[in-house]
Amino acid sequence: MNKTDVLIIGAGPTGLFCAHQLGIIGLSCEIVDNLDKAGGQCIELYPDKPIYDIPAIPECTGEELTSNLLNQIKPFNVKFHFNERVEKLNKIKDRWHVKTSGKKEFDVASIVIAGGVGSFEPRKFPVKECEKFEGKNLFYSIKDKSIFKNKEISIFGGGDSALDWAIELSNISKVNLIHRRDGFSGAESSVQKVKELNDKNKINLYTKYQMKSLSGDNKINAVTIRHEDGETKEIKTDYVLGFFGLIMQLGPILDWGLNINKKTVEVNTENFETNINGIFAIGDICSYPGKLKLILSGFHEGALAARGCFKYAKPDEKLRFEFTTTSKAAQERLGIKK
Ligand SMILES: Cc1cc2nc3c(=O)[nH]c(=O)nc-3n(C[C@H](O)[C@H](O)[C@H](O)COP(=O)(O)OP(=O)(O)OC[C@H]3O[C@@H](n4cnc5c(N)ncnc54)[C@H](O)[C@@H]3O)c2cc1C
C-alpha cells in the first residue's frame, strides 16, 4: 500500500504543476498515469507543435513544456506510476483507498483528478480471440524489448509506432510488418527505411493485409492474414504487436458518483472540489461556467486545488498564504540555499 497525502490521477501538464503546488505547501503526492510517460496530450498528441500561450514563455513545444514541468518538480521527488489506470475508489473513515489496473493500492487523504479527456487507451484488434492472448504474447505497447530477441514478431499498423518498432526490432528479431493499406501514415523517412529493410529481407512487408484469425492454445503460435482480394496466408509467430493509435476514454471515472456534465466533472471555482468531499478535478476534465480548455487554466486550477487538499492532509494545521520567495519553509522544500 502506497501512503501519501494526495493521489494525482493524470501526469498531463495540469497534474504535473499541481504536484509542484502541493510540494510548495508541504504536501506529498504520487501520480498515476495510464500512459508510459508524463506529458498527457502535449507529449502524446503534439510533442513538436509550438505552444504560444504559456505565460512568460513566448514559444515552446509540447515536449519542452513537459520537460520543464518535470524539472520544476524535481525537488519534491514525486513518485510516478505509469501504465496504470485508476479503477476504484473507496472511502475508508476519513481516507481514500484507491486501486489501479495493475493492482497497485494507495491510501490517501485526497485525490486530484487531472485526467484530461480521459485515459489514453490503445485501439485494439477487432478479432475477438485477441483478448485471450493480450498480455501473454499479444501487446499494444512495448515495455521491455529484450523479450523479442531472436523471435519472430508480427507487427500490425502503418503509423509511426508500427514503423519505428519494425525498424528497431529488425535489429534483434525476425519482423513481419502487416498493414491494411499500401500507403503509410508514419514519417516518410521511416517508410523509406522499412522499404529498404524489406528489400534486404530484414523485414517482411505485407500491405493490403489484415488479421483474419489467430491460432494457439495458451499462446499464439501463428497468425492468419487476409489480403483485400481475399487471399490468405498463415505466418508462424512468437509475438503479435498492434499499433493503431490511441482512443480516449473516461472509463472508470464515470462510476465514482461524481457529477458528470458532457464528459467532464463539475467543480466549484473556489478550490475545484467536486460534489464529493476530498475529490478535486482540474484541467480539461473539469467544468464550471467559463471554463477555458487551455493549459494555463489548468495551472491556476491546480494551485487552488492543492490548497484545497491541505485541510484533508493536515486537519489540525492552518495554511497561511505566503510567497515562495519569502517563505522559509517553501524555500527549504525547493532546496534553495541562501
Ligand atoms: C492538437 C492540440 C493542440 C493543443 N494546443 C494547445 C496550445 O497551443 N495551448 C494550450 O494551452 N492548450 C493546447 N491544447 C490543449 C491542451 O493540450 C490541454 O488543455 C491540456 O493537455 C490539458 O491538460 P490536462 O493535464 O488537464 O490533461 P491531459 O494533457 O489530457 O493529461 C491527462 C492524463 O491523464 C491520464 N488519465 C486519464 N484518466 C486516467 C485514469 N483513470 N488513470 C490513469 N491515468 C489517467 C491520461 O492518460 C493523460 O496522460 C491543445 C490540444 C490539442 C489536442
What DSSP designation does 179 have?
E
Contact 101, 121 (CB under 8 A): no
- Cα(295) to centroid of ligand 1, in Å? 8
Q: State the DSSP string of 193-228.
A: HHHHHHHTTSEEEEESEEEEEEE-SSS--EEEEEET
User: How is residue 239 written as a grid cell?
Assistant: 509475438
Contact 210, 185 (CB under 8 A): no
In angstroms, the CA 310 to CA 320 distance is 11
283 burial type by CB count under 10 A (0-12 exposed, 13-18 middle, 19+ buried): buried
Contact 272, 280 (CB under 8 A): yes
For ligand 1, atom 47, name the residue with the nearest CA: 119
Query: Which atom of ligand 1 lies at the shortest distance from residue 294's CA?
Result: 11
User: How is residue 140 written as a grid cell?
Assistant: 499494444
Query: Which atom of ligand 1 lies at the shortest distance from residue 87's CA?
Result: 41
- Cα(111) to centroid of ligand 1, in Å? 18
Contact 221, 151 (CB under 8 A): no
Ligand 1 binding residues, C-beta < 6 A: 9-15, 32-35, 40-42, 45-46, 51, 53, 85-86, 114-120, 251-253, 283-284, 293-295, 298
Pocket test for ligand 1, best of 86, 106, 295 (most atoms within 8 A of CB): 295
Pocket test for ligand 1, best of 33, 37, 41, 43 (most atoms within 8 A of CB): 41
Query: pLDDT in tens for each of the 338 residues of the chain?
Result: 899 999 999 999 999 999 999 999 999 999 999 888 999 999 988 888 899 999 999 999 999 999 999 999 999 999 999 989 999 999 999 999 999 988 999 999 999 999 998 877 889 999 999 999 999 999 998 878 899 999 999 999 999 889 999 999 999 999 999 999 999 999 899 999 999 999 999 999 999 999 999 999 999 999 999 999 999 999 999 999 999 988 888 888 889 999 999 889 999 999 999 999 999 999 999 999 999 999 999 999 999 999 999 999 999 999 988 888 888 888 888 988 76
In angstroms, the CA 80 to CA 9 distance is 10
* Residue 44 CB contacts under 8 Å (≥ 6 apart), including other chains: 35, 120, 246
For ligand 1, atom 14, name the residue with the nearest CA: 294
Query: Which atom of ligand 1 lies at the shortest distance from residue 38's CA?
Result: 49
pLDDT of res. 246: 83
The residue type of 307 is: R
For ligand 1, atom 8, name the residue with the nearest CA: 51
For ligand 1, atom 3, name the residue with the nearest CA: 46
What DSSP designation does 123 have?
-
- Cα(129) to centroid of ligand 1, in Å? 32
For ligand 1, atom 49, name the residue with the nearest CA: 40
In angstroms, the CA 81 to CA 307 distance is 23
- Write down all domains in the chain, each with its CATH number in brackets: 2-121+247-334 (3.50.50.60), 124-244 (3.50.50.60)
The model's pTM is 0.80
pLDDT of res. 247: 84
- Cα(74) to centroid of ligand 1, in Å? 21
What DSSP designation does 32 have?
E
Q: How many CB atoms lie within 10 A of CB 95?
A: 16
- Cα(85) to centroid of ligand 1, in Å? 16
pLDDT of res. 88: 94
